[in-house]
Amino acid sequence: MPLLTADRAASAAVRVQELTRTYDAGGQPVTALDGIDATFVRGTFTAVMGPSGSGKSTLLQTAAGLDRPTSGRVFVGDTEMTRLSEAALTRLRRTKIGFVFQMFNLIGALNVEENITLPLRLSGARPDRRWLAEVTHRVGVTNQLHRRPAELSGGQQQRVAIARALAIRPDVVFADEPTGALDSHTASAVLELLRSIVDDHGQTIIMVTHDPVAASYADRVVTLADGRIVADRNQREAEAVA
């Protein structure tokens, strides 16, 4: 049934509908997201760009279930996250969502291996040793498993954070300025790694960035302004036509 296969292949990893998020800033309402509709297809790499304050981090946080929207719906696969209780939301995040932060957010008291396997231990899942070996090899930290984060360079720490995000075999990885704290050489190595994870493993990545060079690694660039999508460009098709 080729139609079904094509349909499955193009299925949504994440879908947001009419997403709004209003903050109360000292009695003044601030609209961070103003009705966002977007579908992120499985196996694609999307960059979210836009000026400072346009709502990029808020979109990522609400789509990843780290923050609740004021209204609207978020689906991860077929699960509507916005309907879940706190406990169910935490469970879903721990089993289906990877997150990579600008400042790596590794735990200093744990070594590299312990950091990578922490989400698995938190979710109570049995570590898949083969997958963990593949992930650590893939991100190039196999020789640093017993070191502490402070003994690693920024680029190495971000590689560990990416391995940690992948350890649970997430449906989607959200990355908020993952190269923002790295020099350009190290940043391009990390971006190549993210690109290869999409190409070789069919992983879905949604990445916030200010940097057009970082965005050029993505298949698609969604641009926000004032909490709305003002541009949505598919770079792969553009390249194929060019």
Ligand X SMILES: Nc1ncnc2c1ncn2[C@@H]1O[C@H](COP(=O)(O)OP(=O)(O)OP(=O)(O)O)[C@@H](O)[C@H]1O
**Which DSSP state fits 83?**
G
Least distance to ligand X from the beta carbon of 143, Å? 34
Question: Whole-angstrom Cα distance, residue 94 to residue 57?
Answer: 20
Site for ligand X in 13-32 (CB under 6 A): 23, 25, 30, 32
Least distance to ligand X from the beta carbon of 28, Å? 9
Nearer to ligand X, 99 or 138 (CB): 99
Least distance to ligand X from the beta carbon of 131, Å? 32
Nearer to ligand X, 58 or 203 (CB): 58
Nearer to ligand X, 29 or 124 (CB): 29
Query: Using CB atoms within 10 A of its CB, is residue 120 exposed (0-12), middle (13-18) or buried (19+)?
Result: buried
C-alpha closest to that of 72 among 227, 203, 207: 227
Site for ligand X in 49-108 (CB under 6 A): 50, 52-58
Interface with ligand X: number of residues (CB under 6 A): 12
Question: Whole-angstrom Cα distance, residue 110 to residue 114?
Answer: 6
Q: What is the four-CA torsion angle of 39, 32, 64, 231, rounded to 10 degrees?
A: 30
Site for ligand X in 29-58 (CB under 6 A): 30, 32, 50, 52-58
Nearer to ligand X, 32 or 141 (CB): 32
Asked if 36 and 8 touch (Cβ cutoff 8 Å), the reply is no
Q: Which residues bind ligand X (CB under 6 A)?
A: 23, 25, 30, 32, 50, 52-58
